[in-house]
Amino acid sequence: MKNTVYSVARDSKAATIEEFATELGDYLLANNPQVSGVLVEIEEKAWEHMLVDGAPDAFTFKLGGTEVRTVRAVRDQGREWSVRPGIDGLVILKTTKSAFTGYIKDKLTTLKPATDRIFGTRATVKWEYAVADPDHAQVRARIVAALLKEFAAHDSMSVQHTLFDMGKAALAAAPEIARITLTMPNLHHLLADLSPFGQDNPNHIFVPIDEPHGYIEATIER
């Protein structure tokens, strides 16, 4: 299996991981009649040329971010491809325009309402196409730009509120897709209590915590 990946990659004409996934799967189906179907999953790290004295060096690279580009491609013998691209590990944060109030409370609720809080998340995004043979690179670029722009500009009443509007923005930016799924767990940053030291804390000092956190997910479709 691994040798097949290496060999197909050597002669590949693919410019994107989506194209390579289908190219690899087509080879496997064409050369293995005992196989009824194939599923190909690929992750691609966002390498970019390193700047040296203000200019990109041709042979030196650095990671452009924590996120990875993903694709899941499925095809059975005699059928068409189902290709689902995405992004995993997109870490984003804003220090204002984020609130959480008006939620249901009971006797066990300890969370205090917040009208101005830090909003951090590690987003996973997947989308499905409504058209055949899209320009994968162009669609991906438009989706990511729309998600980031909406996240930055959005006056968030909750993670759910922002997630939904980010999904709508992606659908508007990429008419080629039919639906998009976003998973956005909370990356909490809690206000540090400085009162034991006789100091106030007007939203200046925060403590990041890993657990527990909310896990918010939705699929938005046309």
The pLDDT tens digits for 99-130 are: 999 999 999 999 889 999 999 999 999 999 99
In a domain, 187, yes or no: yes
**How far from chain centre, in Å, is Cα 222?**
19
Helix (H, G, I), strand (E, B) or coil at 125: strand
Give the total number of structural domains in the chain.
1
Question: What is the CATH number for 194?
Answer: 3.10.270.10
In a domain, 3, yes or no: no
In a domain, 165, yes or no: yes
Cα 171 from Cα 74, distance rounded (Å):
23
In a domain, 5, yes or no: no
Mean pLDDT of the chain: 96
Q: For the chain, give the percent of residues with pLDDT over 90.
A: 92
For residues 158 and 192, the answer to whether their CB atoms sit within 8 Å is: no
Structural domain that includes position 198 = 13-221
In a domain, 198, yes or no: yes
Quick one: pLDDT band at residue 81, thresholds 50, 70, 90?
Answer: very high
Which residue type occupies 34? Q
Q: Which residue has the tokens 């040798």?
A: 3
The pLDDT tens digits for 15-63 are: 999 999 999 999 999 999 999 999 999 999 999 999 999 999 999 999 9
| pLDDT of amino acid 203 | 87
In a domain, 130, yes or no: yes
In a domain, 6, yes or no: no
| pLDDT of amino acid 210 | 83
Phi first, then psi: give them for residue 87, nearest 5 degrees: -140, 140
For residues 167 and 218, the answer to whether their CB atoms sit within 8 Å is: yes
In a domain, 82, yes or no: yes
| pLDDT of amino acid 111 | 87
Cα 210 from Cα 220, distance rounded (Å):
27
